[in-house]
Amino acid sequence: MLNIALPKGRLGDQVYSMLRDAGYDCPAYEDKNRELVLESPEKGVRYLLVKPSDVAIYVEHHAADVGIVGKDILLESGPDVYELLDLNIGKCRMAVAAPKGYVEDPDRTLRIATKYVNIAKKFYSEKNRDIEIIKLNGSIELAPILGLSDVIVDIVETGNTLKANNLEVIEEFKDISARFIANKSSFKFQNEIISDMMNKLGEAVK
Ligand code: PRP
Ligand code: MG
């Protein structure tokens, strides 16, 4: 049985639809009770519903064989997994944003609020900028409104959240989308079944 770590939520639902259409349907997934382990023995798959930011952890530690995860999370945590396919969904951009009209003072330490500490550090180290990072876990847009930070580093999809909070993009610096990943030893020992799934997903992406 192949263990698939699916992110809970809208992205997971989209990916499940792709997998269902590719032949890996799971009636239990469509039941939508609170179960987190959903098996489809006839199809040889078991879906694990995990928090999106935890998918790569399950795959890296071999609690799941494959998974679907945002490139933002792969860039942030750098897990030791194979990134097999860009699914071309869950598309957004990694960006720096600030209150409308914000003008940076290059002589002062720049205060950045973000969930993406490593991505922000890397981005600003390439700019040789003196920074202070304030790590938050969500609602990042609040930070500059309350003066907790000067700017934020976060993903932007429609831009609606920024707009609703009087913020604007200063710079977009990375395209993000969902990726199909595999545990390295699973990929070696269950290569046929994982390659088959990858090829079918690849067809669906086209
Ligand atoms: C994400 C992200 C932005 C927003 C971007 O937040 O952190 O806030 O979505 O989407 P948009 O450009 O379409 O508005 P999410 O809703 O996941 O909430 P959280 O940051 O509070 O976890
Ligand atoms: Mg948000």
Q: What is the mean pLDDT of residues 70-82?
A: 98
pLDDT at 33: 85
Which atom of ligand 1 lies closest to the CA of 155? 2
Q: Give the percent of the chain with pLDDT over 90.
A: 97
pLDDT at residue 32 in the model: 79
Residue identifier of the C-alpha nearest atom 1 of ligand 1 = 155
112 CA distance to ligand 1 middle (Å)? 16
pLDDT on residue 77? 97
pLDDT of residue 134: 98
ipTM score: 0.95
* Average pLDDT of the residues in 165-171: 98
Residue 52's pLDDT is 96
Question: What stretches of the chain adopt beta strand conformation (E)?
Answer: 2-7, 37-40, 45-50, 66-70, 82-86, 92-99, 110-114, 131-135, 151-156, 167-176, 178-182
* Residue 155 amino acid letter: I
Look over the chain and give the mean of its residue pLDDT values, rounded to a whole number: 97
| pLDDT, tens digit (0-9, with 9 covering 90-100), for 28-38 | 998 878 899 99
User: Measured between alpha carbons, how far is 24 from 190 in angstroms, rounded to an integer?
Assistant: 16
Q: Is 38 in the pocket of ligand 1 (CB under 6 A)?
A: no
Q: Is the CB–ligand 1 distance for residue 160 below 6 Å?
A: yes
Ligand lying nearest the CA atom of residue 91: 1
